[in-house]
Amino acid sequence: MDTWAKLVVVLLVGLSPGILYVLVLLVAAYVEWRRPCPACSARGFRMVTAIRACGRRGSSSWAYYYCRQCDHRLKRQNGNWMQPTEKEWAFHCAKVLR
């Protein structure tokens, strides 16, 4: 193996975790983008914000989703979809969605 080939191999091996990481991010972004809205099944459904809370009783996390097509709002917590209250939507999402 000549020096250039060695260099290329070293670069590929050295960069592969970085390349994999970028690929995973791209796939995750694509899956997120393709997620259909449960109400109107449009592709404009997206995560607005994700919350992670830690307290004495352990930690909890949830996320808010919004559909641009039908104005549908949803909250996902522990794998369950639920309707967020107007108050929490205003608190968590109003400043993100503008």
Residue range at the interface with Zn ion (CB under 5 A); choices 11-19, 42-50, 75-83, 85-93? 42-50
DSSP state of 36: P
Question: Measured between alpha carbons, how far is 73 from 59 in angstroms, rounded to an integer?
Answer: 24
60 is a contact residue toward Zn ion (CB under 5 A): no
Question: Measured between alpha carbons, how far is 62 from 85 in angstroms, rounded to an integer?
Answer: 14
Amino acid, res. 48? V
Minimum Å gap between C-beta 1 and Zn ion is 56
Nearer to Zn ion (CB atom), residue 19 or residue 40: 40
Q: Are the C-beta atoms of 46 and 33 separated by less than 8 Å?
A: yes
- Strand ranges across the sheet with 73-77: 45-55, 58-67, 73-77, 80-82
Minimum Å gap between C-beta 38 and Zn ion is 8
Q: Could you give the string, one character per residue 64-83, with x where binding to Zn ion holds by CB under 5 A and - elsewhere?
A: ---x-xx-x-----------
9 is a contact residue toward Zn ion (CB under 5 A): no
Which residue among 37, 48, 74, 93 contacts Zn ion (CB under 5 A)? 37
